[in-house]
Chain A
Amino acid sequence: DTEVTQTPKHLVMGMTNKKSLKCEQHMGHRAMYWYKQKAKKPPELMFVYSYEKLSINESVPSRFSPECPNSSLLNLHLHALQPEDSALYLCASSQGAIADTQYFGPGTRLTVL
């Protein structure tokens, strides 16, 4: 089983809203990732959690706040987003090291009005 789940599938929010994206995996993977993907572009890495600790933050604006409550869950808290933040947000997980194969969830399509 290589399933990563993400909720919600779609999210529309205003610039003053606070919302959260959720990601879950039950593969026993110890590394989890958030990516942002704009149309016709490759995924861009935002954050990496390794063994529940934030190991990489790719200079992401503070309006995006990641959280890893346990080894199976990863959240991305959103606050005061801009319309240019509209994108597909992808969660991925891998067994341990970043060199391991990453498996992606279905993504959350975010629209900021």
Chain B
Amino acid sequence: QKEVEQNSGPLSVPEGAIASLNCTYSDRGSQSFFWYRQYSGKSPELIMSIYSNGDKEDGRFTAQLNKASQYVSLLIRDSQPSDSATYLCAVVSGSARQLTFGSGTQLTVLP
């Protein structure tokens, strides 16, 4: 079982829709969770960090964490073509004590 798993996609949504990106992790002792956005040929850019169960909102982005289910998600409201990118879920596991990335979900927002 991979430590961090994401739906590989690709995921396509129409402009203005909600995009939902999902991530599960295997280490129950994990404490820190991050979503990064990466445009093709560019470096990862932090979108959200979340540490506690529940929702965290920042503009059009909402991160949701459920430690009991070992699940973290990212919702993008009012999706824009400029949101088209690969979204990387990253987790600091309790045991490995390093940032482990999922394989990424490629999102395309269609005009």
Q: Which residues of A contact B (CB under 8 A)?
A: 2, 41-43, 45, 48, 56, 88, 90, 98-107, 109
B34 at the interface (CB under 8 A from A): yes
Q: Does the CB pair B99–A98 fall under 8 Å?
A: yes
Q: Which of B42, B88, B97 has a CB less than 8 Å from the CB of A42? A: B88
Identify which of residues 1-58 in chain B touch chain A, using a CB-to-CB cut-off of 8 Å.
31-32, 34, 36, 41-46, 49
If A42-B104, A99-B92 touch, does A104 touch B45 (CB 8 Å cutoff)?
yes
* Shortest Cβ gap from B69 to chain A (Å): 21
Does the CB pair A104–B103 fall under 8 Å? no
A90 to B98, CA, bound (A): 16
Nearest 5 pairs of A and B residues by beta carbon = A42-B101, A99-B32, A104-B43, A107-B43, A99-B92
- List, in ascending order, chain A residues with CB within 8 A of B45's CB: 104
Residues of the A chain whose Cβ atoms lie less than 8 Å from the Cβ of B102: 42
Does the CB pair A106–B103 fall under 8 Å?
no
Query: Does more than half of chain A's interface fall in helix, strand or loop, or is it mixed?
Result: loop
Closest CB-CB distance, A98 to chain B, in whole Å?
A: 6
Chain B 55-101 interface residues, beta-carbon cutoff 8 Å to A: 88, 92, 97-99, 101
Ordered by A's residue number, 16 sampled pairs between the chains whose C-beta atoms are within 8 Å are: A2-B46, A42-B102, A43-B88, A45-B99, A88-B43, A98-B99, A99-B32, A102-B34, A102-B99, A104-B36, A104-B43, A104-B44, A104-B46, A105-B43, A106-B42, A109-B41
Report yes or no: A106 in contact with B43, Cβ–Cβ below 8 A. yes
Chain A residues with Cβ under 8 A from B49's Cβ?
A: 101
A41 to B104, CA, bound (A): 8
A90 with B44: in contact, given A42-B88, A98-B92 (CB under 8 Å)? yes
User: Taking each of A101, A103, A105, which has the highest tally of chain B beta carbons within 10 Å of its own beta carbon?
Assistant: A101
- Residue among B32, B36, B43, B102 with the most chain A CB within 10 A? B43
The interface residues of chain A lying within 8 Å CB-to-CB of B34 are: 101-102
